[in-house]
Amino acid sequence: MKISLEELLAFTAVIDSGSITAAAEQLEQTVSGISRALGRLERKLGTTLMRRTTRKLELTEEGEVFLVHARSILDAVESAEDQMASRHQRPAGRLRVNAASPFMLHVVVPLVGAFCERYPDIELELHSSDNIIDLIEQRTDVAIRIGTLQDSTLHARSLGSFRLRVLAAPAYLEAHGRPKQLADLRHHRLLGFTQPEGLNHWPLRSEQGDTCLTRPSIKASSGETVRQLALAGQGIACLADFMTRDDLARGDLVPLLVKDTVEHLQAVHAVYYRNTQLSARIQCFLDFLAERMAP
């Protein structure tokens, strides 16, 4: 019995993508080719790895056990390729990056061209998610997380920090007036976040200290949605500089309550799950991002 890497790739791709058709597209193979690879794998192992229903694929108990080994083997091969590539100073392979949509749009995307020019053999795969993901489950190499880190099982590298500001569009201020002190906010429409609740604590001096808990009239799960609402004149928001720097420079958004604003820096970290030495492509990406984000 000799299991091939092709069969392992087909198996994990089907699990990760959710279907044989999606796996075929991901691996640029035919649906019948993926099906045959799965059939050969199950015959060689003498067991059923997945239950195929009309709606979805489910792992059997044996499939769950084998998936752990399959991922370990593929990771080992990938690591060996990384080591060989780094010897020739040509990092290569697929790099899966996950970040919240505002950070992906305003920080990562503008840097993609320069990164690909410097490292042409690295295949970037960019995913946006406004929720914290499981890196292993989502097959993610690097995730960019903003704010306080919660998961201590991950390695983390600081990439810098950005200031938070209270701001609004001129159109909103013309229609509703400009708040001159903290108490005035109760008469305005505030824009905030559905989660985490900490994002609705604004860096304004109050009776409680250097933060003020707000009660947003409109909430969104994404910072980009909050930004777009603010630009549309729908209310007052508190957002990080990385997504509003150009808006402020153009005058599309203006800072408010400047004297009452406490300088609060929102930390940005890259997190990754590795028990061994960082792969060359992850190291290159982190170094490049830190270099371009440096003040």
Residue whose C-alpha is closest to residue 227's, from 154, 94, 138, 130: 130
pLDDT digit string, tens, across residues 233-253: 999 999 999 999 999 999 999
At position 157, the amino acid (one-letter code) is: R
What pLDDT does residue 276 have?
A: 43
Structure tokens at 105: 């749009």
Calculate helix-pair angle for 5-17, 20-27, nearest 10 degrees.
120
Strands 142-146 and 237-240: unpaired
What pLDDT does residue 155 have?
A: 78
Report the C-alpha gap between 215 and 209 in whole angstroms. Answer: 17
pLDDT beyond 80 at 1: no
pLDDT band, very low/low/confident/very high, at 272 (cuts 50, 70, 90):
confident
pLDDT beyond 80 at 145: yes
| 8 A C-beta contact, residue 239 and residue 227 | yes
Residues 6+ apart with CB under 8 A from 260: 181, 182, 204, 205
pLDDT beyond 90 at 131: no
pLDDT digit string, tens, across residues 82-123: 666 555 567 888 888 988 889 999 999 999 999 999 999 899
Map out the domains of the chain with their CATH numbers: 5-85 (1.10.10.10), 162-266 (3.40.190.10)
pTM of the predicted structure, to 2 decimals: 0.66
Rounded to whole angstroms, what are the CA distances from 208 to 66, 149, 201, 204, 205?
54, 24, 11, 10, 8
Region 128-137: mean pLDDT is 63
Give the residue with greater pLDDT, 101 vs 131. Answer: 101
